[in-house]
A = this chain, B = another copy of it.
Amino acid sequence: MFERTNENKVLRDPVHGYIHISYQVIWDCLNTKEFQRLRRIHQLGGNYMVYHTAEHSRFSHSLGVYEIIRRMCEEVEDISSSLTEFEKIQVMCAGLIHDLGHGPFSHMFENILHKNHEEITQTLILDENTQIHQALKRAHKDLPSLCASILNHTHPNSMLSQMISSQLDADRMDYLLRDAYETGTSYGKFDLERILRTLRVSNGILCIKESGMHTIEDYIMARYHMYWQVYLHPDARSYEICIELFIKRYKEIRKSIKIEALEILFEPFNSDNFYLMDENRLFYGFQQALHCEDETLKDLANRILNRILLNWIELEEDSSLHFEKSTYCVIENCKDLNCLPYQEKENPIWILNTKNQCIPLSDCSEIVRALLRMDINHKKRVFYN
């Protein structure tokens, strides 16, 4: 039996009503400095430059993922009865901390600095010196490694990974609902209650009762629309590209010009360093750059701080245009971005049909079959000034 908090704790949350916490280990994880740091990382990177109210952090989202997993464990009969209390603890912890490794403006961080957020999360969980490691270990000596194994898909019970990271997981479900709420768009909404009600376990695999299939179609369409309306919005990309260009430029010139706050980005990675890498530090670095001697860096800092975006244009794949007068010119195509709302190759959503067989979603949904056939977009976007 795992230790309970002395009373049930509840945190007000506009997406879920309340976040419910009754295990001490969850409370302890939440109070580690690695988890509190997530308050200083925006959930949607630079998207709040387009949707001005999308100012929420990965802290809020992480609590939301935990809450959906908690409800799966407690309210979905099939899951509740097929997991041990220890497995439930593992998956709830893993859900809560799955995003610990996100740096400021994740794209920038991963693209430019070649650090992958999943690996960093692993490192933080397994490093004996981190508060998160200690909080987990206090509850059970194997909890750090078991949480890590859920997140890298090596846990013996693969269903635990499926709950956090698959085509229909607590992570996506929370971020769609939350991002829709925070941006004020209606696109991301779908019927979470009904998904939970139709969730089943069959041979150790999560699946959805056939009667819930239309709700899943709606969820996939919600994802599709959020991609086009929010996540891939060209102005948001334009802003993030400014940040990427800034860091690239600084990397080139840092031998001659030093911005103290940013040096940490180039030091060898360790957990202590990483704790300090948040968006506040980055923004302080941008402020410093306003007064530096490199004109490009100054210009980019000004663009970032005061939202002076790059222009952009959409081009057919084979067209070519010259941007010779531009200081900046970044070309990317949508395929560079992971933008398909649903893919079925390795990891389909499973539907439990009336004959009690698990079949891939596309076998029973015409809509989804159509989506899979779709050749989304061959266009390139050019960002320039």
Contacts and interface: CB of A to CB of B under 8 A. Distances in A.
A78 interface: no
Copies of this chain in its oligomeric complex: 4
Contact of A193 (B17, B52, B63, B371): B17
Interface stretch (A6-14, A155-163, A249-257): A6-14
Given A221-B218, A221-B221, A370-B374, A185 B181 contact: no
A278 B13 CA distance: 27
A218 B225 contact: yes
A11 B51 CA distance: 7
Contacts of A112: none
Interface in A217-275: 217-218, 221, 224-225, 228-229, 261
- At the interface, is chain A mostly helix, strand, loop or mixed? helix
A31 to B, nearest CB: 7
A10 B198 CA distance: 12
A376 interface: yes
A287 interface: yes
Contacts of A17: 184, 193
A294 interface: no
Contact of A12 (B40, B60, B184): B184
Contact of A229 (B31, B214, B376): B214
A305 B38 CA distance: 11
Given A197-B10, A281-B287, A60 B56 contact: no
A322 interface: no
Given A370-B367, A370-B370, A186 B181 contact: no
Interface in A22-81: 31-33, 36-37, 39-40, 48, 51-53, 55-57, 59-60, 63
B218 A214 contact: no
Contact of A261 (B279, B284, B366, B369): B284
A39 B33 contact: no
A187 interface: yes
A214 B317 CA distance: 22
A12 B185 contact: yes
A276 interface: yes
A183 interface: yes
A190 interface: yes
Contact of A36 (B183, B225, B305): B305
Interface in A346-385: 366-367, 369-371, 373-376
Interface of A: 10-15, 17-18, 31-33, 36-37, 39-40, 48, 51-53, 55-57, 59-60, 63, 181-187, 189-191, 193, 197, 214, 217-218, 221, 224-225, 228-229, 261, 276, 278-281, 283-284, 287, 305-307, 366-367, 369-371, 373-376
Minimum-distance CB pairs A-B, first 5: A370-B370, A14-B184, A280-B283, A284-B284, A280-B280
